[in-house]
Amino acid sequence: MAEFLSRAEEYVDMAEVSTENWNYCMPSTYIPWASNREFVREIKQSGKVKFPLYLVGSIVSPEMAEEIIASGDADGISFSRALIADPAMPNKAKAGRIDEITPCLRCMRCTDGDNKTRFFRCSVNPTTGHETRVGFMEDIPEAKIKKNVLVIGGGPGGVEAAVTAARRGHTVTLLEKNEELGGTIRYAKNDALKPDLKRYLQYIQKLPSLYPNITVKLGTEATPELVGSYKADHIIVATGGEPIPPTFLEGWEKAKDILDAYFHADSVGEEVVIIGGGLSGVEAAAHLGALGKKVTVLEKYTCLADVGTSYGWGVKLAVKQYGVKLVEQADVLEITDEGVRYAMGGKEILKKADSVFYAIGMKSNNQLFYEVADKAPYVDIIGDAAQTARIGEAVVSGFYAAMDIGTF
Ligand X SMILES: Cc1cc2nc3c(=O)[nH]c(=O)nc-3n(C[C@H](O)[C@H](O)[C@H](O)COP(=O)(O)O)c2cc1C
Q: Which stretch binds ligand SF4 (CB under 6 A): 103-111, 137-145, 166-174, 372-380?
A: 103-111
Rounded to a whole number of angstroms, the minimum distance from the CB of residue 108 to ligand SF4 is: 5
Q: How far is CA 365 from its chain centroid?
A: 20
What is the C-alpha to C-alpha distance for residues 195 and 219, in angstroms, rounded to an integer? 26
Q: Of 68, 84, 207, 386, which one interacts with ligand SF4 (CB under 6 A)? A: 84
CA distances from 307 to 132, 168, 314, 344 (A): 29, 35, 11, 24
Rounded to a whole number of angstroms, the minimum distance from the CB of residue 206 to ligand X is: 23
**Beta carbons within 8 Å of 61's beta carbon, 6+ residues apart:** 82, 101, 103
Q: Is 299 or 393 the residue whose CB approaches ligand SF4 more closely?
A: 393
109 part of the interface to ligand SF4, by CB under 6 A? yes
Q: Of 37, 41, 44, 81, which one interacts with ligand X (CB under 6 A)? A: 81
- Report the partner that residue 79 touches, choosing among ligand SF4, ligand X, none (CB closer than 5 to 8 A by kind): ligand X
234 part of the interface to ligand SF4, by CB under 6 A? no
- By CB under 6 A, what part of segment 5-64 binds ligand X? 18, 25-26, 56-59
328 part of the interface to ligand X, by CB under 6 A? no
Rounded to a whole number of angstroms, the minimum distance from the CB of residue 197 to ligand SF4 is: 10
88 part of the interface to ligand X, by CB under 6 A? no
Q: Is 108 or 172 the residue whose CB approaches ligand SF4 more closely?
A: 108
Q: Which stretch binds ligand SF4 (CB under 6 A): 70-78, 89-97, 101-109, 367-375?
A: 101-109
DSSP-assigned beta bridge partners for residue 273: 296, 356
172 part of the interface to ligand SF4, by CB under 6 A? no
| Binding track, positions 57-76, relative to ligand X; x by CB under 6 A | xxx-----------------
Q: Is 80 or 213 the residue whose CB approaches ligand X more closely?
A: 80
- Report the partner that residue 124 touches, choosing among ligand X, ligand SF4, none (CB closer than 5 to 8 A by kind): ligand SF4
Q: Of 77, 124, 216, 227, which one interacts with ligand SF4 (CB under 6 A)? A: 124
Answer for the pair 361, 243: CB distance below 8 angstroms, yes or no: yes
102 part of the interface to ligand X, by CB under 6 A? no
- Read off φ and ψ for residue 253, nearest 5 degrees: -70, -10
Q: Is 120 or 378 the residue whose CB approaches ligand SF4 more closely?
A: 120
Q: Of 23, 80, 202, 336, which one interacts with ligand X (CB under 6 A)? A: 80
Q: Is 26 or 222 the residue whose CB approaches ligand X more closely?
A: 26
Torsion of CA 79, 35, 391, 266, to 10 degrees: -150
Q: Which stretch binds ligand SF4 (CB under 6 A): 5-13, 42-50, 122-130, 166-174?
A: 122-130
Q: Of 110, 258, 307, 372, which one interacts with ligand X (CB under 6 A)? A: 110
104 part of the interface to ligand SF4, by CB under 6 A? yes
- By CB under 6 A, what part of segment 276-305 binds ligand X? none
Q: Of 41, 106, 167, 256, which one interacts with ligand SF4 (CB under 6 A)? A: 106
Q: Is 56 or 273 the residue whose CB approaches ligand X more closely?
A: 56
Q: Is 226 or 317 the residue whose CB approaches ligand SF4 more closely?
A: 317
Map the chain to HEC letters: CHHHHHHHHHHCCCEEECCCCHHHHCCCCCCCCCCCHHHHHHHHHHCCCCCCEEEECCCCCHHHHHHHHHHCCCCEEECCHHHHHCCCHHHHHHCCCHHHCCCCCCCCHHHHHHHHHCCCCCCCCCCCCCHHHHCCHHHCCCCCCCCEEEEECCCHHHHHHHHHHHHCCCEEEEECCCCCCCHHHHHHHHCCCCHHHHHHHHHHHHHHHHCCCEEEECCCCCCHHHHHHCCCCEEEECCCEEECCCCCCECHHHCEECCHHHHCHHHCCCEEEEECCCHHHHHHHHHHHHCCCEEEEECCCCCCCCCCHHHHHHHHHHHHHCCCEEECCCEEEEECCCEEEEEECCEEEEEECCEEEECCCEEECCHHHHHCCCCCCEEEECHHHHCCCCHHHHHHHHHHHHHCCCCC
36 part of the interface to ligand SF4, by CB under 6 A? no
What residues make contact with ligand X under the rule CB under 6 A?
A: 18, 25-26, 56-59, 79-82, 110-111, 114
- Return residues touching ligand SF4 (CB under 6 A): 81, 84-85, 104-110, 122-124
